[in-house]
Amino acid sequence: KEADRRAAEEAKAKREQAIRAAEAAADEYERQELDKKRKAFEERNKHLQEIAKRAQQEAIEMAQRKKRLREEEEEMRKLTPEQIQQRERNRQFKAREEERKR
């Protein structure tokens, strides 16, 4: 009778130990899965931040070009037709020079 009780207690202890081990394994698996998901999320977030940074840089450059064009347009309004023709000849000359250098 005592041996049966002791055997039952040992079986219960082993069962509880097995349950704790299974729970620990499940917790570890869940932690690893969450870690994988976190890393994937961080990668996507990093990629999106790079895209946003590039878009912001392009927007800044576009605004600068627009401002420069507006300033050039304003300057052109102040020029006489002869000055405009001279500028165009200079621009074409510079373009030809650049082409020759290539």
pLDDT at 18: 96
pLDDT at 90: 94
Q: Give residue-wise pLDDT tens across range 30-72.
A: 999 999 999 999 999 999 999 999 999 999 999 999 999 999 8
Percent of the chain with pLDDT over 70: 100
DSSP string for 4-70:
HHHHHHHHHHHHHHHHHHHHHHHHHHHHHHHHHHHHHHHHHHHHHHHHHHHHHHHHHHHHHHHHHHH
Is it the case that residue 84 has pLDDT exceeding 90?
A: no
pLDDT at 36: 97
Kindly state the average pLDDT of the residues 10-32: 96
The pTM of this model reads: 0.48
